[in-house]
Structure 1
Amino acid sequence: MSRPSLDHREVNLRRDGQSRADQLAVEEPLEIRIDGRSLAVLMRTPGYDEDLTVGFLLTEGVIDGLDDVSALASCGDALRTNGNNVMQVKLAAGASADPSRFERAQRDLYTASGCGLCGKATIDRVFQRLPSRTPSEHDGRPSLPLDLDLACTLPDALRLAQPLFDLTGGTHAAGAFDAEGRLLLSREDVGRHNAVDKVIGALLRPPYSKDPPLDVVLVVSSRAGFEVVQKAAIAGFSALITVGAATTLADELARTVGLPLLSFVRGGSANLHVGEP
């Protein structure tokens, strides 16, 4: 049974000081265990935990695709104090035979959580995991796979698919769109990176089974930070569109790996990040 994504809490209104019930987005820990070993604890909004787990494992380099996963099971902790906030993952024989995947992912996760992406060596390791892109024929650089005017409408289309945000105002969203601008699926979460991983995981799993999603555009309701660009590039999206602006490192990464990035989409205008960094 899935856990609720929102909760009702008493809050004080600043206008009159009166208490009333408000709806808040739920944030709870999800521990991911690989073959019985704890890999990470994610602070996420419950719901689509299987999608989140698969997407997270792909973007962290633990798996190369869904074929590397033989079983997923949601459970509680031994004392049953943690609901269904533990995801047990059993890797397929070929994937589990390589212990370096687990250790490398643990090391990179520790580095990222402890001090961010510290130093050139860490950033270089990230770049090495990313696929290269095929330049377009007309100018030798990657281009958006859909019309620019259409691309600028997709954040508004994603906004219409955010019921949890409508109720709480406390979640980000990520959505997968085809080249015609049709929304394939969307996911919400208190963490933008979690919403992205949920979309990636959903696309890997039936009924979509898009591995990689080369014909799919990822749209995110947040800024374009390094982590979001990294996940979009690793998953293999044809382009990334974000409501907020891009950071310097996100711009560099998108240009380096040839991922077309459209950021700061507002009222029909946007920043297009393509070409050499």
Structure 2
Amino acid sequence: MTGNAENKLSMVHTALGTCDKAAAILQTIPALWNTYQTAVAKAEVVEDYVQNQIRRIDGITIDKRKSRMKLINYVMVASGLVRAYANDSDNDTLTNEVKVSRSKLQHMRDEVMFDKAKVVIDIALSMQTLIAPYGLTPTIAANMQTALDDYHTRLQSTTQARAEKKYYTRQVNVLINELVALLRNNLDVNMEVLMMSHPEVVEKYRNSRVIYDYSTGRKKKVIEEEDASVLSGTVTDVDGFPLADARVVIEGTSIHTTTDADGEYLIDSVPAGKYNLVISIAGYKEVRENQMEIAAGGDLVKDFVMEVE
């Protein structure tokens, strides 16, 4: 969840909490009570999405990291065994097929490293009889295959967990904007009915409807944007690999963000209108989309591909 979304959700909880304390009064007006109940139900849906969004993938990531290191170790063993045989056989082609350094493996992207590991280990396993004299035992061969399979499984689990987290992050922002709109367009209006009979309730509710930004460590009032939209997407290179730390800027505004490790970006609370969106990162040609139209209360997804300079 983004900082803006957290600030909004905090306000919603405060506002609904204020209404809950005055529940007996709200129930005397059916339309007002129904609106409040609708808001509470929607807030519960948001909380469910938040819980799904914040599910930690740290454990999955740690397991994958351990599995990755084990696989790299076995790739180096497989490469060494095959190269020893190839050197004795003067087979330069075979040597080049399995030649790899630990440093390069460690710096490869997950999917690329797996593909390289599979090539090397598959070659070693296809030559078990030939390289057995160099130290390939049945146990080592079995462990190589197990390490390869284990990393592949964990790689899929991590990818799925990240995809789910991104989905829930996007949905949480959309749902929170919808919830804030419900308060603004319905509950705010209905609460005014109590102004003559219970002005103190209305006053407390109005005070609770202020959004504060706590990100700087100081309480700061934030202007609520009506019908704000969510803008998100992925930035990759021409080969489809995600680009992390790409700067995403809505030109002419103070709105900006950067992509995460998976090339994903998300900006919430974008007012409706037409904007120029600029994507930049060192070493790549700047990408922009001019006159990009963002509809009120929408969820716009924009992906970008960047070329090397």
State the TM-score, normalizing by the size of structure 1: 0.21
Choose 1 or 2 for highest CA Rg.
2
Specify which structure has the higher proportion of helix.
2
